[in-house]
Structure 1
Amino acid sequence: MAPYRRGSMSRTASHVPTPRRDRVGLGRGHVWSEAVLAVLLVAGCATSSSPGRRSAQGATPSSRRKPNVLFVLTDDMRLDDLRFMPKVRELIRDQGVSFDRYFDNVTLCCPARTSILRGQYSHNTGVLTNGGGNGGFETAHADMVEQSTIATAMHDAGYATGLFGKYLNGYPHTAGPAYVPPGWDQWSSSSKGNAYGEYDYTLNENGKQVDYGHGPDDYGTDVYTRQTRDFITRAASTSTPFFAYLAVYAPHSPSTPAPQDTRAFPGLKAPRDPAYDEADVSDKPRYIQALPPLTPQRQRLIDRRYRKRAQSLQAVDRSVASLVDALDAKRQLDDTYVIFTSDNGFHLGQHRMPSGKQTAYETDIHLPLLIRGPGVAKASHVTALTGNVDLAPTIAAIGGGRLTDNPDGRSLVPLLTTKNPRVPAHWRQVFLLEHWTETSAQQDRSGAGQLEPDDLDQADTTSSSDAQPTTPTSAAAPRRSLAGRSRIPEFQGLRLPTYTYVEYSTGERELYDLTRDPDELNNIAGAASPARLDALHQRLDAMRSCAGATCPARESAPLVLR
């Protein structure tokens, strides 16, 4: 990579065009006072370092400048995949806060990542799917969504900003291989090749195309980690606060492990929880009812996928430890917020679905979110309802940046400093869930950038082979869901603290009491009172059109279920 130069990838300071009318937010910009941040920094400086990690000799963390932010994003990682990541648990979870009710608005890579960057629900970003005419990088780029993101906010707040790894599905396509989105001072993202496979890809490194082959040093997770370490080291040497965004491809299919992990977890099988290969799906939507029980062949595929996912996460676990070590060595650890999460979850046999995402079930929407940093309570748990639209407002609040397109989410900073805090008054009562069908592109997008390999749900696995589908879907080819049997209908829904409610475009509904039925086996929509269903429907109807300040207002309004 080129030596770090402040502003080397900067764009014009006039980042923000007039947004599309249907995306204009209302209300506040979510900037927290310097006094609040100063309190957090002073408290953070008084805390000790991680177990087994002593601050560098003579280190005195400075509270005179803004804190750093290291954001680590995995791809398709389930909440329970944390069991395979002991270093992440030790260095982030145990040293910070776990958000126990953190959810994803759209359980699909590109919409989720766009929401993370902008702090908006997908109906406001306009990036609804991974491609076609209503999603993917091409939609985000054409609609100028990139002109106002957490990157532009942090850049304008004086941060050195760097993205390393996966960006938006389909990048860079018509923007060209040397394109760097606004707000990023350092940039390294795949412009060509098979980045999902971790080998044989080309990175756009600050406008220069750099080829990586199939050697041990070319393994993708390790490459992005080295680049992030280098970025942190250079920024620290200039006393410039940094915002580092590391987005690995693991454990996304084909879930390629690092060479030293190919034999890890021998005999590992996917969990056979009560929802696995669900026996009675008569209360489920028709797209689930159409699925047969899982065959032995499909179960072998699921188990193989699960093991490879666990193997691929070992490199990510080492990556986090390596970056924490780098922060400690540069005397930055006590001045850095480290945020760890995933873009969406993943089902593996639950409700008879082989493997994939895009549903409103807990496997897909319920994600890990871990935060450590100055002033953050250790080994704390937050039970307040939170979601991916909150990440950009939180990072902006930490850095004193301003999201110029008003976000739908809210800052989580007030939940960080008290151990096991109570849910604040007037906090959200509902979080919006959405899913759309990919529409046909209005132009030929064949030859687009990085396209996802098919999940088993999308692939034809009727052959006798146990091989997993690994070839990215052509941009011009239609996708088939659930092995071609039935497409997941469009839906909108609500995640409440203890319920999930979903309305499908087919007219079907689902309602689950997650306290009594955490595996979502008993759809109680048919037995619910008309008053309860009407209250849920009215709140969902209000949430479908929320924007900016109206989202927190509608989320937080009291909701009584009779």
Structure 2
Amino acid sequence: MKPTWSALLGVALLAVVALVVGLLVAGPKTVVAGPAAAGPSTATVAEPAAELAATTDERPDIVLILMDDFSLELLRTMPAAAEMAAEGATYQNAFVIDSLCCPSRAALLTGQTPHHTKVLTNTQNDPEHPVGGWSAFQRYGNVEKQFSIGLQEAGYTTGFVGKFINAYEASVDADGNRVPPPKVPGWDSWNALLGGAYGGWGYQSTFLDDDGEMRLRHHPQPPTSATPAAKDAAYAANVTRDYALDFIEDHRDDEEPYFLEIAAYGPHSRLGHHYPGLDTWFPPAFADQAPAGDPAGGNCGRFDCGELTLADLAGYDDDRQDNAPTYLHRGGRTSPAPAWRTNKVSLSAETALSQYRDRARMVQSIDRMVAQVREAAGDDAYIVLTSDNGFHLGQHQLNGGKGAPYDSDTRVPLVVVGPGVVPGKRSQFVNNIDLAPTFLDIAGAPIPAYVSGSSFTDTLSRPGVPGARYAFFEHTYAKAHPGEVDLDKGSGGTIDIIPSYIAVRGSQGLLVRFDLDKSWRGTDYAYELYRYDRPWEDRNVFAEDHAKPYARDLMRRLEAYEGCAPAVCRALTR
């Protein structure tokens, strides 16, 4: 059986006490600070623990739970997540580098910015020169740069469960047989749920057979006549949970530590229609659904569903007349630029409220998984809860979707529990490209020079330690192509009207440089600047504030960020 982190520290500290006072002392044992075997940037424990590591791998297990399109207001509805936040570190300034699924996931897996991964959109667009999806992730060397490979080389057993990269799908051979997608290096266990899982029911998943070969497993949709329990057993969130718990059970007693990524499909909107009467674009498990004719019923976790209102969505229906971008000319002169938020506001308040509540119901199955995973993994494992991006649902009059540089889309939950983690809120800025170096740091593995993010391991045990003060965002416009799953038409999606941009976010404000020219080669730069004396991006103040010190600081950083090398990217956040 693999010794637990706390047990090993207890043995080491007892030995120290015995040497000093000449007798055994029983009682609670404490970590000096931080995860002990996490590399040079972390604090250490007493010397005998280091000696013990020569014969026993004392490094902690790590579990990443990654949600899909999770907006921050949903976190308070989740009982297990709320308990996790009370017992662990909660990062109030956690962001994603691109608020779109595939670029965000590629960045998380590699620790690189999209301008380094070259994964810029969800779909490949041009097969010869892909700009997104699995094709781009594979073509540009990102498979070999996954942090999981570094963890494997450091002795970790690695497992993956759930949603991987957009367009990572099975194919059909010449005989009409379904063929699994390619095997992905860096993972000892591989249970990817393929794209059919967006709908919740009726999909395929992958597994590795005894010879390490890729195989497909079918998860048929239960018939309409099946019981709610039978339907929920086949629900994608619950199958993801079952795979995850199986992995933990198989490896929690190993001598070697493990890393497990659990990538849920919820609360992403569905594709396809599955059961009569289940018409929502955000279908919860049957156990959580509202009864017919009761829109305020069902399970919304810590709240009655009727208590959730549109007032919870900061900036909902905010008039966009004062949000148009601004041109900057020589000498500091400014002039109005054309508005890019020109979509028809098609999302009604009734629909937005219904979908908000359905999304709250949808995450309850994930929340139950959080509780079960924590129990199975134990207190000596690090558990990290976050999302690939946020989601706007009527904020900024953008209907529903993601991809924008605003808080609704870029800010995500980040909660960490584990050995040596001091409970409480953190004010340091963290980006999802910081997760890869943090995992490697905890494992005591080297962080490659190509990584653009920085480890935040020190902040786990020292809440007040200086950290990043800025976060950067980048996004590439691409007209939607077949296979694009993020149009979110059910909520009036607007993903393909959002221009390309780069942006920088500090404590005082957000500066965005949009490229209003939608061609690949041309540029038409215009700016939006928002002060955070309001809890959302209320009014573009670029014209009156662009020469003020805080705005000039943001502009200097923004200009230096464009195309930055990894070391420069890291330095700009400080």
Q: Normalising by the residue count of structure 2, what TM-score does the alignment of the two structures yield? A: 0.75
1:501 aligned residue (511, 514, 527)? 511
- What does residue 163 of structure 2 align with? 166
- What does residue 487 of structure 2 align with? 454
Moved more, 160-169 or 33-42: 33-42
Q: Deviations over 1:379-400 (max 9, x none)?
A: x111011111100000111112
Q: Deviations over 1:521-561 (max 9, x none)?
A: 121101114364554333211111222222222332xxxxx
User: What is the distance in 1 between the residues matched to 2:235 and 2:255?
Assistant: 31
2:192 aligned residue (189, 211, 233)? 189
CA contact (8 A) 1:41 1:374 kept: no
1:213 aligned residue (216, 220, 240)? 220
- What does residue 71 of structure 1 align with? 64
Letter matched to residue 132 of structure 2: G
Q: Please say if 1:318 is aligned against 2:337.
A: no
- What does residue 49 of structure 1 align with? none
- What does residue 200 of structure 2 align with? 198
Q: 1:481 to 1:84 in 2, by over 3 A?
A: closer
CA contact (8 A) 1:66 1:399 kept: yes
User: What is the distance in 2 between the residues matched to 1:274 and 1:242?
Assistant: 39
SS in 1 for 2:529: strand
- What does residue 407 of structure 2 align with? 362
- What does residue 260 of structure 1 align with? 287
Q: 1:179 to 1:351 in 2, by over 3 A?
A: same
After TM superposition, list the pairs within 5 Å mapping 1:336-355 onto structure 2.
336-355=381-400
Q: Please say if 1:438 is aligned against 2:478.
A: yes
SS in 1 for 2:461: coil
CA contact (8 A) 2:162 2:263 kept: yes
CA contact (8 A) 2:134 2:166 kept: yes
SS in 2 for 1:237: coil
Deviation at 1:186, TM superposition (A): 0.4
Moved more, 264-273 or 116-125: 264-273
User: What is the distance in 2 between the residues matched to 1:36 and 1:269?
Assistant: 43
CA contact (8 A) 2:399 2:493 kept: no
Q: 1:434 to 1:322 in 2, by over 3 A?
A: same
Letter matched to residue 290 of structure 1: T
Q: Please say if 1:536 is aligned against 2:558.
A: no
CA contact (8 A) 1:41 1:67 kept: no
Unaligned 5+ segments in structure 2 are 1-36, 50-54, 173-178, 209-213, 223-230, 271-281, 291-297, 326-337, 517-524
Q: Deviations over 1:363-419 (max 9, x none)?
A: 1111110001110002x111011111100000111112234452111111110112x
CA contact (8 A) 2:42 2:458 kept: no
2:563 aligned residue (526, 538, 545)? 545
- What does residue 113 of structure 1 align with? 105
After TM superposition, list the pairs within 5 Å mapping 1:16-35 onto structure 2.
33=39
CA contact (8 A) 2:38 2:443 kept: no
After TM superposition, list the pairs within 5 Å mapping 1:30-69 onto structure 2.
33=39, 36=42, 38-39=44-45, 64-69=57-62
SS in 1 for 2:530: strand
Q: Please say if 1:180 is aligned against 2:190.
A: no
Q: Deviations over 1:160-194 (max 9, x none)?
A: 11100000011036796242211100001134x62
Higher relative contact order, chain-length normalized (CA < 8 Å, sep 6+): 1
- What does residue 318 of structure 2 align with? 278
Q: Please say if 1:555 is aligned against 2:565.
A: no
- What does residue 142 of structure 2 align with? 145
Moved more, 315-324 or 143-152: 143-152
User: What is the distance in 1 between the residues matched to 2:164 and 2:351?
Assistant: 28
User: What is the distance in 2 between the residues matched to 1:94 and 1:40?
Assistant: 28
Q: Percent identity?
A: 30
CA contact (8 A) 1:41 1:335 kept: no
- What does residue 304 of structure 1 align with? 354
- What does residue 408 of structure 1 align with? 452
Deviation at 1:124, TM superposition (A): 1.0
Deviation at 1:104, TM superposition (A): 1.1
Q: Please say if 1:482 is aligned against 2:482.
A: no
- What does residue 85 of structure 2 align with? 93
Q: 1:256 to 1:64 in 2, by over 3 A?
A: same
User: What is the distance in 1 between the residues matched to 2:420 and 2:546?
Assistant: 46
User: What is the distance in 2 between the residues matched to 1:187 and 1:159?
Assistant: 15
SS in 1 for 2:434: helix
User: What is the distance in 1 between the residues matched to 2:251 and 2:78?
Assistant: 28
Deviation at 1:299, TM superposition (A): 2.3
Q: Deviations over 1:442-501 (max 9, x none)?
A: xxxx6x7xx52531xxx3xxxxxxxx37xxxxxxxxxx9639xx7111111101122110
SS in 2 for 1:321: helix
CA contact (8 A) 1:148 1:405 kept: no
Unaligned 5+ segments in structure 1 are 1-30, 44-61, 328-332, 460-467, 470-479, 557-562
1:421 aligned residue (464, 473, 480)? 464
Report the aligned-residue RMSD.
2.7
User: What is the distance in 2 between the residues matched to 1:354 and 1:72?
Assistant: 28
User: What is the distance in 2 between the residues matched to 1:42 and 1:302?
Assistant: 58
Letter matched to residue 223 of structure 1: V
User: What is the distance in 1 between the residues matched to 2:385 and 2:509?
Assistant: 25
Q: 1:324 to 1:437 in 2, by over 3 A?
A: same
User: What is the distance in 2 between the residues matched to 1:498 and 1:317?
Assistant: 33
Moved more, 125-134 or 432-441: 432-441
User: What is the distance in 1 between the residues matched to 2:371 and 2:216?
Assistant: 29
CA contact (8 A) 2:530 2:539 kept: yes
Q: 1:439 to 1:487 in 2, by over 3 A?
A: closer
SS in 1 for 2:450: coil
- What does residue 510 of structure 1 align with? 528
User: What is the distance in 1 between the residues matched to 2:341 and 2:249?
Assistant: 54
1:371 aligned residue (416, 441, 459)? 416
Q: 1:94 to 1:440 in 2, by over 3 A?
A: closer
Deviation at 1:64, TM superposition (A): 4.8
User: What is the distance in 2 between the residues matched to 1:40 and 1:95?
Assistant: 25
- What does residue 228 of structure 2 align with? none
Letter matched to residue 245 of structure 2: R
User: What is the distance in 1 between the residues matched to 2:255 and 2:340?
Assistant: 55
User: What is the distance in 1 between the residues matched to 2:309 and 2:42?
Assistant: 47
Letter matched to residue 557 of structure 2: R
- What does residue 235 of structure 1 align with? 251
CA contact (8 A) 1:188 1:205 kept: yes
